[in-house]
Amino acid sequence: MPKNPATTTRDALLAAAREEFAAHGIAGARVDRIAARAGVNKERIYGYFGNKEKLFDAVIKDALDEFAAANHVLADDPVAYVGAAFDHYRQHPELLRLLMWEALHERSEPLPDQYWRAERCGEKVTSLAARLGEEPSPEVGRTVLSLLGLAMMPLAMSQLADLLGAGTDSPESAAAMREHVVRFARAALENRPSAT
């Protein structure tokens, strides 16, 4: 069955926008470049998404959906989750860039899809809490954040990693960093103080 042309156009716009936003952020991205890359008139962007900021929000949602689909839940194996997250961020560096641009973008209102995103994050906390035999809590939330930070930081701050002699430019150095991150996560979880 042939694809719906509207779906194809929307997908092309999202793919083009992901590249543009990852490279330039929300403020620096240009609607005309996105439209040209997607091979459509820029008015299609407004028709599908309303404005540039809503297009960015749709790009973020798609990227986070892909991340969630590619990574198993924390309760299965939190250490393996950290390794899988590292792999995903390495294979999809645009996700890290999009998240950093989003963090830098000033908003006067809550994040788009805030409820959906809070629900997803809550699932991570609940999942890890179950694995640890604890109730969900801010402490478990801090642990989830730290585990994700372990996977993100060497790739998000590549200049710092290079300065520390821990860059990930070659397959060998990336594999060494992944192994380090996984070992660090394992040690942190094994030595984590129990909840009181």
Domain ranges of the chain: 1-55, 71-190
Average pLDDT in the 46-71 region?
88
For range 55-72, the mean pLDDT: 85
Q: pLDDT grade, residue 75 (50/70/90)?
A: low
Query: Model confidence over 150-174: pLDDT tens digits?
Result: 999 999 998 898 899 999 989 999 9
Average pLDDT score over the chain = 88
**Model confidence band, residue 193 (pLDDT cutoffs 50, 70, 90):** confident
* Nearest-angstrom CA–CA distance, 119 and 194: 25
Q: Is residue 150 within 8 Å of 181, Cβ to Cβ?
A: yes
> CA triplet 170, 84, 20: central angle to 5 degrees?
70
pLDDT digits (tens, 9 = 90+) for 105-129: 777 676 667 778 888 888 889 999 9
The answer, yes or no, to whether residue 136 has pLDDT greater than 70, is yes
Q: Give the whole-angstrom CA distance, residue 10 versus residue 49.
A: 9
| The domain defined by 1-55 carries CATH number 1.10.10.60 | yes
Main-chain dihedrals φ then ψ at residue 93, nearest 5 degrees: -60, -20
| Higher per-residue confidence, 196 vs 138 | 138
How crowded is the C-beta side of 77, counted as CA atoms within 13 Å? 9
What pLDDT, on the 0 to 100 scale, is given for residue 1? Answer: 47
What gap in Å lies between CA 178 and CA 80, rounded to an integer?
11
